[in-house]
Amino acid sequence: MADGGVLRSPRIALVDLDAVSAARVAGLVRRELTAWQVPLEVYGPPDEPRGLDEIAGAWAPAATAARYANGGDVTVLVGTAVAADGDAHLSGPILALATRTSTPAFLVADEDTLTRGLLDRVERHRHCCGGSIAGVIVTGSDPAGAAPAFSAAAGKLIVAGRLGAAAPDLGLDLRSLVLTGNEAPTLVRATREPAEPGAGGIRPRPAGSRRRGLTLMVQGTHSSAGKTFMVAGLARLLADAGYRVAPFKGQNMSNNARIVAGGEIGVAQYVQAVAARCAPDVRMNPVLLKPRRGGMDVIAAGTHRPELRTVPWRLRKPLLWPVVDAALQDLRAEYDLVLIEGAGSPAEPHLYHNDIVNMRVARAADSRVLLVADASRGGAIAHCHGTWGLLPDTDRGQLSAWVFNRFFREGNAALLRPGISELERTTGVPSLGVVPEMTQTLPAEDLYGAARDSGGEGRKIAILRYPQISNFDEFAVLDRTPGVRVCWAEKPADLLDAEIVVLPGSKHVAADLDWLRARELDRAIAGFAASGGRLLGICGGLQMLGGAIRDPHRVEGDAAGLGLLPVETTFHRDKVQRHTEVEISGLSGAWSVLNGLRVPGYEIRHGATRPTGADVDRGDRPGLVFGHGNVLGVYLHGLFEHPDAMGAVLEMPVDAWQQVDRILDDISDHLRSHLDGRLLDRLLS
């Protein structure tokens, strides 16, 4: 036990011929394992069993033998076997259960009964009944010289030990028992076929088949459990199986957005649409909340709705639910399958009544729900059971499978099986699989999933990480580029040795300027620019680099910029949301390497900026690009996502979206290897 350990919860049957010795062996096993602090459950049938179902009902509160899947860290079934039909075979309830559940059984036999005839019956049982008898434990008054016939004829049976009639100690090879018991497969609910990983059970969608408007929803036990990852991987997996797939999230909260047909949506749904190989549009994220200091901007059906900013969030549901429901039903009418992502937890009592993104959506779509838990955290199974327990009965019926995400890459997933079996038993909801953690660098939608230093060696790019940062997903490509080291700067020392310093977008420019000055980062940025380092401001970062920022309509507030770029900004009431392509020209100094490039991107902004000096480089699109020596400001998002721009700035012509496409294929393969494909296929039927 000490060197081998328990690989996972083993299941062992001890079968006796005289109804005494097996119970004694079980008692000694219990004593030994207790000394090792290994939990043990021992089950035995009633005195007069009449059948397998009655045995199961009598042994435990369960009504099916599958509930003996792992009652403790070691489960032992104890009972008797009888010779019947002229010694033709061994029979008995324990052997029947062991055979049915593929539990290794050890025959506990007195030395006087270990005759050639008994051994022949054991061999016949092994050949005709699935080989449930794995070994023999010998009992008797003279263990030292017991059973020479057995020793000579045991064949492949395990000699698990010899136990004297009065021996106070356990004369067993307990490690052999435990390791053999590990060979027993994990039991699942009797109504299910045994789970097999892999997507071989997913039937390809026939070309030209009727559109059915299927839905499958992915919810989580908490935020950042892996819902977005799971929807993206399933979208690519099922699109490759022939489904016309669309992603959907009724309400998202993120300051990372992308411009699509009709307005803007969260970056997560944009990437999921790429995964599904479909054109992203505003219906895939009909409500986007963008937090900022002092409130929340509301994007509904792709359009900024400033009048909703002052509506208390508890009163927004009747205003926003029709937008969510209409988008959902439109997508269902157009696509074979809509993959729906929830938000946070579906079972928060203080949020449940105001829900427009979790169970309200599942009910509207009559959707089956996968509940994802983060298995890298302790308590994943408890999180699942707690979520199930808090939901009303009507919503519990929507829960169709558990998914345990981010299990330790080097861990043994079998260690989760006892808990998963118990979760399945108590809830009646099966597990779709355990998904090991996977390193991937898809664009993130919030600061919980990104804005961490990439580490390692290489050319350092420092990106200011102010509190109201927005659209920082465009820098994910830098994390994936060998030879580049990203530093998310929060103090002056973070700018040391940087080759480029970037001021990214901001949801509240005035607030983030206050943050920079409070940390003396304004002086550090000015010093970096004075030393000749390349300084880049994007959107809100461009506005910070300039002089005065005027806000007559009280969009964000007046502010004084850093004065490193001779420009000034005025905020307008209307918001700019559009795709943009800029041909860069006329830049001088360090940023002249961009001259001649035609770069596509997008704009999401309120402000309009104009030069205040004659020495500002403006390129072919006045108001979008401003250069002044080694300082560059652009309103264009997506500069680093263009391979020509990466080649010019860093001599590394990386195509960001080709990288994303490969990552999505990798995620799809990862899920295919670890999810129960047959169960997934049934959930889609």
- Catalytic center residues: 539, 637
Nearest-angstrom CA–CA distance, 299 and 308: 9
Residues 443 and 476: beta-carbon distance below 8 Å:
yes
- Residue 651, SS3 per DSSP: coil
Q: Which residues pair with 611 in a beta bridge?
A: 567
DSSP string, 574-607: EEEEEEEEEE-----GGGGGGTT-EEEEEEEEEE
Nearest-angstrom CA–CA distance, 537 and 607: 14
Distances (CA, A) of 47 to 19, 66, 78, 618: 10, 21, 12, 93
Instruction: Classify residue 514 by its DSSP letter.
Output: H
The residue assigned the tokens 């030069």 is 611
What would the two tokens of residue 385 be? Answer: 């059971």
Nearest-angstrom CA–CA distance, 640 and 634: 12
Distances (CA, A) of 58 to 17, 54, 80: 21, 6, 16
Nearest-angstrom CA–CA distance, 27 and 40: 10
Nearest-angstrom CA–CA distance, 482 and 205: 39
Nearest-angstrom CA–CA distance, 627 and 537: 10
Nearest-angstrom CA–CA distance, 634 and 430: 51
- Strand ranges, E, within 186-232: 214-220
Count Cβ atoms below 10 Å from residue 306 Cβ, excluding itself. Answer: 13
Q: For the CA atoms of the chain, what is the radius of gyration?
A: 33
At position 336, the amino acid (one-letter code) is D
Instruction: Classify residue 637 by its DSSP letter.
Output: B
What would the two tokens of residue 165 be? Answer: 């009639």
* Backbone region of residue 5 per phi and psi (left: phi > 0; alpha: psi in -120 to 50; beta: other values): left
